[in-house]
A and B are shown apart, each in its own frame.
Chain A
Amino acid sequence: MENDTVPILKVEGVTKTFTTPQGPLTILREVSFSVLQGEKVAIVGPSGSGKSTLLALIGLLDTPTEGRVTVKGVDIGTLSEPEQARFRNMHIGFVFQSFELIEPFTVTENIEAPLDIRGGDVDHARVRELIDHVDLRERAHTLPYTLSGGEKQRVAIARALVHAPTLILADEPTGSLDRITGKKVLDLLLTQVEKTHGTLVVITHDEAVAERMDRIFELRDRTLYERPHTHL
């Protein structure tokens, strides 16, 4: 795969400290790394190591205590809340472990939501194509509560890709699924990301998932280390 030489995501010296009743609690310290366009990256680590916190900082869901996160050359710390929302809508696609589908919306409506929020005409052909790709044509007009876990995650993947984002962030995308369904969902995610030439950052504690990425980072002792790929 040919990667661009300019990083699409750049994390520089990021520290995140929470205030707790017991005093300040530092989850991440001086974390730095970068991801190039089209790269697929895994961030692994034990539970409570700060993986999800890091993903939230990259995805503009939270702000770092120190350091800088740059996505597509934009220092996201300088953006106001509406600008952050707009940026997320244009450039980031999320896949959550617990799917996070909007319950009263049908499958199609959930997938269309980022386009609706962006405003303007919805590309229905693109939505239909994605629904076909995630193999949910039969369930297109049903509500989320009727779907199985695997189906829900396929909807979430389609929703994350529908607006062709620069960066796709997946937090334990197979964490709620059984092994076979999880593999199918991961295959689908990777295929779709490759098709759109997107950049993928996956948070996982599943080594099998991590091994399918181009690079693997490990969060240990509140900081991030790149580790060699075992299959290379």
Chain B
Amino acid sequence: MKDLILICKYSVRLLTREWRRFVLPSASLVITGVVIMLMLLLTEGGSTLIGEKARELQGGDMVIESNTPIDADALLNEISIVPEKKSYTRAFTASLGTRERALPVSFEVVDGTYPLFGTITLQSGVYRALSPDELLLDQAGAERLNVKVGDTLLFSEKTYTLAGIVTEEPSSLFGGFRFFPRAFMSDAGFARAALPTELLRTEYRYAYALPNLTDAMRVRILAYKETHHTDITIAGTSRTGFDRSLSTVSDFLIIAVLITIVLGAANVYTSTVHLIASERKSFAVLLALGMRARTLGSVVGTSLLLIVIPSGIIGAGLGTLLFTVAQGVIETRYGISIPLHDALFQGFITTLLILVTTLSAFVPGVLRLRGVSPKDMLHGKDEGAREKQTLSALLVIVIGSLAPLVLLASLLLQSFIRGIVVIGGILVSYVVISSIFVALLSLLYRYRTRFTFMVRGVIAHKKADGVLGVISFTSLFIALTALATLALTQVSLTRYLEQDLVRTIPTTYVIDIQPSQKDALLSAFPDLTVFPNIRARIVDIDGRRIQDLVEAGDPNTDRELRREYNLTMRDSLLSSESITEGVWGEGNAGEMSVDREFAERANIQLGSSVTFLIQGFDVRGTVTSLRDTDSRSGLPFFYFVLSPMDVGEFPSVYFGYAYYTAETQRALEQFLLPTMPNVSVIKTDALAPIVRSIVNTLLTLVFLIIIPPLLIATLLIATIVVSSYPSRKKEGARLQALGLPINRVRLFYLLETIALTLAGAIMAYVSSLLVTYFITSRYLKLGQPVLFDAELFLGLGFVVLFVAMIGAYLFTKNRMPLRELLAYETNR
């Protein structure tokens, strides 16, 4: 009890007297808390939303999808399930237009019971069953066609009245990301169009409301799905593409949060070590007065605890506030309200995680108290433990920090292995970068005599910063490299989309041309180049039964091979293609050309034998060439090109492209609208802004995720600057006493203050150039990346300026006379 009172009394005293030392770690912990809380609320809210909206998004409790009409009711009978309600819809892409313009639209033909769950919200008025001469259009479509409610629209030689503009629909969570605008019409309205269904690539959807869906029913449904290979989904149980995307985003967020946590921990560690280093004499006196080392550790720990809990609570509060702001923005932009669930519980978890973070940093930090010995101190050897610090400290940090961090990562990622892998990955990055930094610094230190006195002094000081300097540099370097890489990639992508791509890309793509329409279309528009497009599934590569291997989860078989591919046939290479291996075929049976990168992924070599399943028939070919494609051309791209001798007889849909002026494009649209409404025209000039907007939105989100680690890394540098200020001030006085004018002393310490940040910024920029070059040239294939971005320079400059301002503020506010400075205790 006595000990407890002493610990509380001394820790409060330490905190109140030395509060300045706790400001920066508190700020780091608050930022970490904000990030953790935001991540928890967003992932929890997102999952809840998906769970709650699963039936609406999917269209029903159970949905059967098919490319051909099926008797779905009979299927339900077979598995003895009686639905409460049902709705049949079909979806296809076709052209919709006015007298002036046309555009490809995703049509949804709905029955009277649609939607089973959720509602369709209109800009004005209420949704009702549509009459045969009415249709609905979403906002994007209405804007692009420049129509309003009551206007006339053309579809397959028939006129329809726009009955309403859809602002929200149940199956669209983020409607803003739809590629094509969406239109709704009734069965009768579709029948009125009298469009031959064989011309359309239609997806039939049979949705059911099953309020009493039991586990036994689920089992029967899944068993039927397995045995009949039918595409059946059950709301809330089957993982949709959206679920998987959400999970990927959630994992990405968690990894970003873990990086923030590691940086937060580094900051707490740095501050703890500085606190112990600067208070060594006082601590040694306490030990000399009889305080036990364990009690002393508890005093330091309790004073940290006093900042951790408020930091966690403030972080959680600010995180909740930011979440509500984000909630409002998402609701305004996308009409979706992400629920705020269990904010108190999430706040508790956040504070707990902050505690674990602090613990991971505090343990190795406080172990330095072992170096404090009253005997040494009272004999004046106040730096006695210094030599032990550098090597052993790194080891202690690693071991002492790893256990709680791995535990934390495992909990967040819900997998111990993934926890180890992620923390291991972060650690390896740290160790590699730290080692490079240490090697460079040692090299500079070794040859420091070749530099001027000032530069030599800066090098010596950076060397003297030891492990703390290394951690700060590494943290800042990682954050700045990520930021710079993203910025350069974004600029490169924008340039690619705005300049490089636009120069070469065809102006017009034409999709879904049926064989019966090809000749008529080509005679009206002879400049159109068309390719047949045949759907096929790979069944065998060099004797390996691919579908069986994928089903069995064979680790050497890419899961992507499970899907259907588009094949084509042609006699000649496109201007965008080049043969890398083998020879281009002469049109003989059995010849096949494969994209080189796909071949590497699928383990296909020159001479490999590949068998496809096309409309129930096996088609076999031998790979006679591998080719590369320049994606910048924007020309049609196919993984497989086969000989017309092999696939020429299969009915195929055609895909075309052309370099048309706006006038010809309009003529093409007006030609297709009444006669071939199933054929869609895509104008690439309209496509680029959509792609650019999506890319920019995604990259902006990633930018936002990088900001907290960057802030903490900068705070880490600031911690070092502020903590080392008293000793630097004293050294400045010594240099002045030796004859260095005050302005040069200030310049010297300004250089010393910004040295780490400046070096980090320069090295991060250089590294990001290399990474961006790799990403844009090798991975995205965008050609040469952009090497200079003024905004990025400004951003990096701002970080350096921020640190310089802290240094400048500290050194200029110092008005103490030189005589007093020399008598000044450094630990104040």
Contact = CB atoms under 8 A, between A and B. Distances in A.
Interface of A: 52-53, 56, 59, 61-62, 81-82, 85-90, 92, 94, 96, 100-105, 109, 113-114, 116-118, 143, 145-146, 149, 159, 176
Interface string B450-464: 000100110011011
B822 A113 contact: no
Give the interface SS of chain B, mostly helix, strand, loop or mixed.
Answer: helix
A18 to B, nearest CB: 10
Contacts of B383: 145
Interface in B727-751: 727, 730-731, 734-743
- Which of A104, A109, A118, A145 gathers most chain B CB within 10 Å? A104
Contacts of B727: 103
B734 to A, nearest CB: 5
Contact of A103 (B380, B387, B731, B738): B731
Contact of A59 (B386, B461, B730, B737): B737
Given A82-B743, A117-B738, A146-B387, 14 more contacts: A52-B823, A56-B819, A61-B737, A61-B818, A61-B819, A62-B818, A86-B741, A88-B736, A89-B740, A103-B731, A105-B460, A114-B739, A116-B453, A116-B456
B817 interface: yes
A149 B223 CA distance: 85
A89 B737 CA distance: 8
Given A104-B463, A104-B464, A145-B383, A53 B819 contact: yes
B327 to A, nearest CB: 51
A108 to B, nearest CB: 10
5 contacts: A81-B742, A85-B742, A88-B739, A104-B461, A118-B739
A95 to B, nearest CB: 11
B739 A117 contact: yes
B460 A109 contact: yes
Given A102-B734, A149-B380, A62 B819 contact: yes
Interface in B777-828: 817-819, 822-823
A81 B741 contact: yes
Contacts of A52: 819, 823
B735 A102 contact: yes
A117 B735 contact: yes
A231 B782 CA distance: 91
A28 to B, nearest CB: 13
A145 B460 contact: no
- Which of B464, B737, B742, B743 gathers most chain A CB within 10 Å? B737
Contacts of B463: 104
A145 B386 CA distance: 8
Give the interface SS of chain A, mostly helix, strand, loop or mixed.
Answer: helix
A85 B739 contact: yes
A89 B739 contact: yes
Contacts of A59: 737
Contacts of A149: 380
A103 B464 contact: yes
B380 A85 contact: no
A62 B380 contact: no
Interface in B630-660: none
Given A62-B818, A105-B460, A116-B453, A86 B742 contact: no
A186 B646 CA distance: 104
B738 A89 contact: yes
A149 B383 CA distance: 12
Given A100-B734, A176-B380, A85 B740 contact: yes
Contacts of B730: 100
A117 B740 contact: yes
Nearest to A144: B383
Contacts of A85: 736, 739-742
B737 A94 contact: yes
B444 to A, nearest CB: 13
Interface in B589-621: none
Interface string B359-400: 000000000000000000000100100110000000000000
Nearest to A53: B819
Contacts of B743: 82
A232 to B, nearest CB: 33
Nearest to A96: B822
A88 B737 contact: yes
B817 A62 contact: yes
A62 B817 CA distance: 7
Contacts of B736: 85, 88
Nearest to B817: A62
Contacts of A103: 464, 727, 731
Nearest to B730: A100
Contacts of B823: 52
A113 B738 contact: yes
A7 to B, nearest CB: 23
Contacts of A101: 734
B741 A102 contact: no
A100 B741 contact: no
B731 A102 contact: yes
Nearest to B382: A145
Given A61-B818, A62-B819, A90 B739 contact: yes
A87 B823 CA distance: 22
Contacts of B742: 81, 85
Contacts of A82: 741, 743
